[in-house]
């Protein structure tokens, strides 16, 4: 039996596009000699559909698409994911399901059992877990078909009390197929490989796993579909961040001695870079936009975002707006201009000195001679936010937010100023990682000016300002933030690890006090195991850690 894995880029709710893409890949797999072609979890509607699932019409369109797909499954079978109705009154109204289609008809249905409800997942909000399990007989082989999380309950701290494969294995299957919508983080590929390999070893069966690629607002899918033999050895690793269709002969996979060629693994920074480029591309393409605008300060954050946007959209579609104030240094303006010249994007220079002076004048009576402080710094940031939003409104540009994760974490940013935008590009990338990204972007030639990389970071909202005036050095700050946010460590654990007690308590307080700001920021492209946004839900007025 020859099995094709089709990892594709779906668009949530775009039934016409998704259906035609699935049909064309059925035809391609058939042309390549496949007996069975496998598509991802909820491929027909796109993942995650969220509250679209509450619409009866949405579910009807899923079923209609599935029936159209079925017409093309002649002389080839397919497995495709979609939501289906639960005909039992008790429980949730839907199942997260997979159709096995053969000879133009739905021959079997597999339903997801383990419904993740953590981090970015909220599946139990919509779906009823399956309680019955049946293998699928095809071409003289018996298939144990599972959906994504159904194979993840295999570690030292299981989240669930049951394992679908423990029931399916009793029916003596010959292979496992798992269809997934497994979101990207720069640590997830290694965890994914281990989980699937452990399943192959535990049940002593080959595993065929298909993931999707593409970005759905903030969530990015990296592909990397996989095949393992019954000893848990990886036999194939498909492309990352690209659509791909490959055909595998089950007989060759069962032959442990025969190895498929595997691509070289990407480093964390390479993965983050490719994920962000894909995230930008899909946000624009799936929203129907082509051109971006951002404020370009001469600092490293906006420089990296500009470079990423130019790679994703083409330099001719990116507008960089330089907005120097009376506190901006000449070298910062020149660094920004050097980047524009290196990269070839559009640019405008719009000084804000006169606008800031006008605010000073009209507020002088109300402020009654009070000294310059954070108020005037924030006014400058909000002037810049107004200007880039004006460019967005006038020309139809989409505004890119350039705040990094370190700043988002501790609230080092101005609401309705530098924190505005339609999509946060590096809001899940710590400052120390931003420097690594800049060096990676420059690996072939200097795109981001060297001075932008080596100079001390500064918001330049007051004379001789440095980020280190308000924040700990980033190499220390980011270590504490990573331990607290990604690893969920509290103050006691951090102090026990050797971090300074006063510093730890100060930083954790800053993180929690800034929650009200993060509620009002744009969606942030997710590249880490714990991103701000829907994956990290904290109360604004909670007392703990403040």
What residues act catalytically?
41, 112, 148
Angle ∠(140,145,151) on CA atoms, nearest 5 = 135
- The DSSP-derived string for 138-195 is ETTEEEEEEEGGGG---SSS-SSS--HHHHHGGG--SEEEEE---B--TTHHHHHHHH
Q: What is the CA radius of gyration of the chain?
A: 26
Was 10 annotated as part of a binding site?
Answer: no
517 is in an annotated binding site: yes
Asked if residues 208 and 175 have their Cβ atoms less than 8 Å apart, the reply is yes
Q: Judge if the upstream peptide bond of residue 256 is cis by omega within 30 degrees of 0.
A: no
329: annotated binding-site residue? no
332 belongs to an annotated ligand binding site: no
Burial class (CB in 10 A: 0-12, 13-18, 19+), 150: buried
159 known ligand binder = no
Tell whether residue 298 is among the known ligand binding residues. Answer: yes
Going through 366-461 in order, the beta strands assigned E by DSSP cover 398-401, 423-424
Calpha distance 69→229 (Å, rounded):
30
Query: How far is Cα 313 from Cα 248, in angstroms, rounded to an integer?
Result: 34
C-alpha span between 459 and 327 (Å, rounded)? 9
Buried b or exposed e, range 439-452, using 16+ CB within 10 angstroms: eebbeeeebbbeeb
402 is in an annotated binding site: yes
| Residue 528 marked ligand-binding | no
Backbone angles phi, psi at 472, to 5 degrees: -60, 165
401 is in an annotated binding site: no
Residue 65 labeled ligand binder: no
Q: Are the beta carbons of 246 and 236 closer than 8 angstroms?
A: yes
Instruction: Give the Cα separation of 212 and 196 in Å (integer).
Output: 16
- 162 annotated to a ligand binding site: no
Burial grade of 337 (CB within 10 A; 0-12, 13-18, 19 or more) = middle
Q: Of 430, 475, 493, give the one whose Cα is nearest residue 186.
A: 430
* 299 annotated as a binding-site residue: yes
**What are the φ and ψ backbone dihedral angles of 174, each rounded to 5 degrees?**
-95, -20
| Annotated binding residue 297 | yes
- Known binding residue 302? Answer is yes
Q: Which parts are annotated binding residues?
A: 118, 182, 295-302, 378, 402, 407, 517
Q: Which parts are annotated binding residues for deamido-NAD(+)?
A: 378, 407, 517
Q: Which parts are annotated binding residues for L-glutamine?
A: 118, 182
Q: Which parts are annotated binding residues for ATP?
A: 295-302, 402
């Amino acid at each position: 039996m020859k099995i094709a894995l089709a990892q594709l880029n779906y668009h949530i709710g775009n039934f016409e596009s998704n259906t035609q893409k699935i049909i064309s890949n059925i035809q391609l797999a058939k042309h390549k000699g496949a007996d069975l072609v496998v598509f991802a979890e909820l491929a027909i509607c796109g993942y995650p559909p969220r509250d679209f699932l509450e619409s009866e019409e949405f579910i009807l369109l899923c079923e209609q698409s599935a029936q159209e797909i079925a017409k093309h499954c002649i002389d080839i079978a397919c497995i495709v994911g979609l939501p289906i109705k639960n005909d039992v009154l008790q429980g949730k109204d839907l199942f997260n399901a997979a159709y096995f289609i053969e000879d133009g008809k739905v021959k079997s249905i597999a339903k997801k059992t383990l419904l993740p409800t953590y981090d970015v997942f909220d599946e139990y909000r919509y779906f009823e877990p399956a309680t019955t399990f049946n293998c699928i007989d095809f071409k003289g082989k018996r298939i144990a078909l599972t959906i994504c999380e159904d194979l993840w309950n295999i570690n030292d701290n299981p989240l669930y009390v049951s394992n679908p494969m423990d029931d399916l294995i009793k029916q003596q299957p010959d292979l496992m197929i798992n269809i997934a919508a497994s979101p990207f983080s720069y640590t997830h590929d290694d965890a994914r490989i281990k989980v699937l390999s452990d399943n192959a070893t535990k049940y002593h069966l080959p595993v065929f796993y298909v993931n999707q690629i593409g970005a759905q607002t903030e969530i990015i899918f990296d592909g990397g579909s996989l095949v393992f033999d019954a000893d848990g050895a990886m036999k194939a690793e498909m492309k990352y961040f690209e659509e791909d269709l490959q055909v595998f002969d089950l007989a060759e996979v069962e032959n442990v001695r025969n190895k498929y060629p595997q691509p070289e693994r990407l480093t964390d920074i390479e993965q983050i870079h490719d994920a962000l480029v894909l995230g930008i591309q899909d946000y624009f393409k799936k929203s129907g936009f082509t051109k971006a605008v951002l404020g370009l300060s001469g600092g490293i954050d906006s420089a990296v975002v500009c470079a990423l946007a130019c790679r994703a959209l083409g330099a001719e579609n990116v507008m960089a707006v330089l907005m120097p104030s009376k506190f901006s240094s000449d070298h910062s303006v020149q660094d920004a201009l050097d980047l524009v010249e290196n990269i070839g994007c559009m640019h405008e220079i719009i000084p804000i000195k006169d606008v800031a002076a006008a605010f000073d004048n009209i507020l002088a009576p109300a402020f009654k001679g009070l000294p310059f402080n954070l108020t005037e710094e924030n006014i400058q940031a909000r002037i810049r936010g107004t200007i880039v939003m004006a460019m967005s409104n006038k020309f139809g540009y989409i505004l890119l937010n350039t705040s990094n994760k370190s700043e988002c974490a501790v609230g080092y940013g101005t609401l309705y100023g530098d924190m505005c935008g339609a999509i946060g590009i590096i809001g899940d990338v710590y400052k120390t990682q931003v420097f690594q990204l800049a060096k990676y972007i420059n690996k072939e030639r200097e795109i981001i000016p060297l001075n932008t990389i080596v100079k001390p970071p500064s918001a330049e909202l007051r004379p001789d300002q440095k980020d280190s005036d308000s924040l700990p050095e980033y190499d220390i700050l980011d270590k504490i933030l990573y331990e607290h946010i990604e690893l969920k460590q509290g103050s006691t654990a951090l102090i026990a690890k050797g971090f300074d007690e006063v510093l730890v308590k100060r930083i954790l307080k800053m993180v929690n006090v800034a929650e009200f700001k993060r509620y009002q920021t744009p969606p942030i492209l997710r590249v880490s195991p714990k991103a701000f946004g829907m994956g990290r839900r904290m109360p604004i007025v909670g007392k703990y850690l403040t």
